[in-house]
Amino acid sequence: MAFQLPPLPYSTNALAARQMCQETLELHHGKHHQAYVTALNGFVEKNPALQGKSLEDIIKLSYNNPDLAPVFNNAGQHWNHILFWQAMSPTEGGKIPGRLEQKLVSDFGSVAAFKEAFKAAGVGQFGSGWAWLVLAPDGKLKVTKTPNGSNPLATGEGKALLGCDVWEHSYYLDFRNRRPDYLQNWLDNIANYEFALAQLG
């Protein structure tokens, strides 16, 4: 069974009022994410060792394996984007549920400090990559960043609660080169904190 592009959980114009325009979502989901899925399926087709494996297993077995770097990049990006679409909300974006707010305050000192840390991670990721809010193995919320198609599942840094794509394709139409403004808007108006809380369990 080949990997599939999941449908967006909202329409391509659903986030336009929150500064992620229809063209951004059309290209990002329909072209970029689709290209990762297509490439991944091509690699699996040619490599019996990958066949029948889950996406998570492929990510883990290809991580830090130079021979499988293109497999890792595309499998990672497929996983990252599946999470990314869910990590945004056209209706509840930016609203932090009380139970998550308490945990953010407890682990970062304040919601503002969490947002600053997340923004710094996204801005500080040189080139392409991702900023993450994770539940670390020690039970604390942490902010982390990964380059290119990597993610906390591969690195073992924790369970991803939110992931923000900082590749230029995710913000260039809406924010041009202003990645800090994209991240601030994402945290304030787009991030689906209900989803993050649900991942927290």
Binding site for Mn ion (CB under 5 A): 165, 167, 170
Q: How many Cα atoms sit within 13 Å of 198 on the Cβ side?
A: 7
Neighbours of 179 (CB within 10 A): 18
**Minimum CB distance to Mn ion smaller for 103 or for 145:** 145
Q: How far is the CB of 45 from Mn ion (least distance, A)?
A: 23
Nearest residue by C-beta to Mn ion? 165
- Give dist(CA 42, CA 33) in Å, integer: 14
Cα-based angle 89, 157, 127 (whole degrees, multiple of 5)? 70
Alpha helices in the chain (DSSP H): 22-27, 34-46, 55-62, 69-86, 98-108, 111-124, 152-155, 172-175, 179-185, 193-200
Q: How far is the CB of 113 from Mn ion (least distance, A)?
A: 27
- Give dist(CA 87, CA 164) in Å, integer: 8
DSSP state, 88? B
Q: How far is the CB of 169 from Mn ion (least distance, A)?
A: 5
**Minimum CB distance to Mn ion smaller for 71 or for 83:** 83
**Minimum CB distance to Mn ion smaller for 100 or for 190:** 190
**Minimum CB distance to Mn ion smaller for 76 or for 158:** 76
**Minimum CB distance to Mn ion smaller for 24 or for 170:** 170
Q: How far is the CB of 172 from Mn ion (least distance, A)?
A: 11
Q: How far is the CB of 33 from Mn ion (least distance, A)?
A: 7
* Torsion 85-98-95-108 (CA) sign: negative
